[in-house]
Amino acid sequence: MKLTELFTQPDPDFGQAMTALLETFHHSDDSQAPYQRGSFTHQLDQSAMPDTGMSTQDYLARLATLVPGASHLTSPHYMGHMTAPLPAFTAELSRLLVMLNQNPMKMESSRLLSFLEREVLAKLHRLIYRGEDDFYGAQMHAKDAALGVMTSGGTIANVTALWLARNRACGDNLFSLFEQGYRGAVILGSRLMHYSFDKGMDLLGLGARSVWRLDTDEHNRLCLAALEKALVQCKEQKLKVLALVGVAGSTDFGSIDPLPELAAIARREQIHFHVDAAWGGPTLFSPRYQSLLDGIDQADTVTLDGHKQLLVPLGTGMLLCRQPDLMMTVKREAPYAIRASSFDQGRFTLEGTRPANALYLDAAFQLLGRQGYARLIDANYDRARRMAELIDASPAFELMSAPVMNLLSYRCIPPHLQGKVLDAAANDAINAFNVALQKAQRAEGHSFVSRTQRAVSRYGEQPLTLLRAVLLNPLIEEHHIRALLDDQLRLGRLVADQLFGQGSSSGERTV
């Protein structure tokens, strides 16, 4: 094949091979290519690029050796991460998006799709802030304003929110804080804040010490008493509070901070109020559960992440602003592309070149609709509650918090400690047991949950290793949940014998 033909002539065999690869992949699990780092690194150990291009058939043969080693995120037995299986229409839509290769940084490189991005952001803004028709008619396509920006994910959205809060407080000159009499600047939030806030404050030149992670209550929400104490300390130490961060769906527990109370405190103290709703934001689609997010409409900025509960591909994040002129605080221009008189969204985005991923959201909104999202949210939240019931009914498991959304944290208790009063030494043993169990389940590859390490109020400040289940896949049914828990019981018997000796695995029951 001539080199130019790679650009002009689609290969039908290539498309058919992709379909076949995906079909085979979706009917298997991780056990077909168990995770073994040594094996994977040996398979991919060539650092030199080939001098000449290979044929498409040879490359398809290479792909056939690579795809089985990918993670089977769409399996209903895989309940470990916040990555959704995608609707089937995404495949062909992705082909269109990639081959159009639009760049919505600038009007000239995306034209109509720039306006599509603004329309998508308006729909999400309306979901959160519930503005009226007149507001969106005036602001959706306003020149020197933006209802929000698209980003490559929740991390960049959170970093952008901190950028806005910093510039809102002192422009782009941190030294002006010292001129105002401050000795430094911080942000306040719970210990469950996402680690992207540490990155953001580091990038702003303020460092990790400027992120104050405060205590949580028994429901894993930011403790209001701890917040009030921190505000007093900041005044005493002459520290400017750039932002108060509320979490709407923590990554460990799915917990939600007391948003109305935080909003009131932020107003009282004249602090930028940001809500990280990367996980929980789509709860607003559900009439049954939307009250969980009461108060989110009072936030100055809100982060959403499309690849989570909005069910679109990775790389689709959003930051929404209650006031459209807020984005002007970070407006930047470039003479060759983003000019002062332009209409370009790139004036407001931390990232420059980026794909037109708003098209994925447009398709999902049009094809699923509000009612479709509501049904999916309701079903997943109900699944989490059913899984919690199964865990709570078995002495082999300990549920660590009641489900709020569709995340569960729990742990498996080795047989010799079931029914016992658990002290620090017992919890250390349970930690080791759960680490080994999670690794064994991952290595076997038939089912999966992730793990985290957090203190839980009933055990004080001792860090505990917790198993973490994410009920996001709409194909999950109760028998998949039971099978996953049965895998943990079966593997737990083996792990208990290895860690604690023979005879330790008696007494476990099937879920």
**282-331 confidence digits (pLDDT tens):** 999 999 999 999 999 999 999 999 999 999 999 999 999 999 999 999 88
Assign domain 103-355 one CATH number from 3.40.1410.10, 1.10.101.10, 3.40.640.10, 3.30.300.20. 3.40.640.10
- At residue 211 the predicted structure's pLDDT band, cuts being 50, 70 and 90, is very high
| Pairwise CA distance, residues 124 & 139, whole Å | 13
- For residue 37, the model assigns a pLDDT of 86
- For residue 504, the model assigns a pLDDT of 58
Portion of the chain with pLDDT greater than 70, in percent? 97
- For residue 509, the model assigns a pLDDT of 55
Burial 463-487 (b: 16+ CB within 10 A, else e): ebbbbbbbbbbbebeeebbeebbeb
Average pLDDT in the 256-272 region? Answer: 98
In terms of DSSP bridges, do strands 464-470 and 450-454 run parallel, antiparallel, or are they unpaired?
A: antiparallel
- At residue 206 the predicted structure's pLDDT band, cuts being 50, 70 and 90, is very high
Average pLDDT in the 110-116 region? Answer: 94
DSSP annotation of 292: G
Q: Which is nearest to 159 in space by CA: 274, 315, 328?
A: 274
Q: Determine how many CB atoms are found less than 10 A away from the CB of residue 114.
A: 23
Domain ranges across the chain: 103-355, 370-499
Its sign, for the CA torsion 231, 237, 240, 246, is negative
- For residue 1, the model assigns a pLDDT of 61
**468-489 confidence digits (pLDDT tens):** 999 999 999 999 999 999 999 9
- At residue 390 the predicted structure's pLDDT band, cuts being 50, 70 and 90, is very high
- For residue 217, the model assigns a pLDDT of 95
More confident residue, 108 or 405: 405
- For residue 278, the model assigns a pLDDT of 98
- For residue 413, the model assigns a pLDDT of 98
Does residue 164 contact residue 329 with C-beta atoms inside 8 Å? yes
Helices 358-392 and 90-100, axial angle in degrees (round to 10): 140
Strand order across the 397-399 sheet: 397-399, 407-412, 464-470, 450-454
Which CATH architecture describes the domain 370-499?
Answer: Alpha-Beta Complex (3.90)
**180-197 confidence digits (pLDDT tens):** 899 999 999 999 999 999
- For residue 511, the model assigns a pLDDT of 61
Q: Is the pLDDT of residue 10 over 60?
A: yes
More confident residue, 336 or 441: 441
- For residue 208, the model assigns a pLDDT of 84
**78-90 confidence digits (pLDDT tens):** 999 998 789 999 9
**CB neighbours of 197 closer than 8 A, spacing ≥ 6?**
158, 162, 187, 189, 211, 245
Q: Is the pLDDT of residue 506 over 60?
A: no
Q: Determine how many CB atoms are found less than 10 A away from the CB of residue 509.
A: 10
Does residue 365 contact residue 93 with C-beta atoms inside 8 Å? no
| Mean pLDDT across the chain | 93
- For residue 5, the model assigns a pLDDT of 74
Most confident of the following: 27-31, 83-87, 233-237, 346-350:
233-237
- For residue 379, what are the CA distances in angstroms to 285, 298, 367, 385, 406? 13, 28, 18, 10, 9
Average pLDDT in the 209-224 region? Answer: 97
Does residue 219 contact residue 209 with C-beta atoms inside 8 Å? no
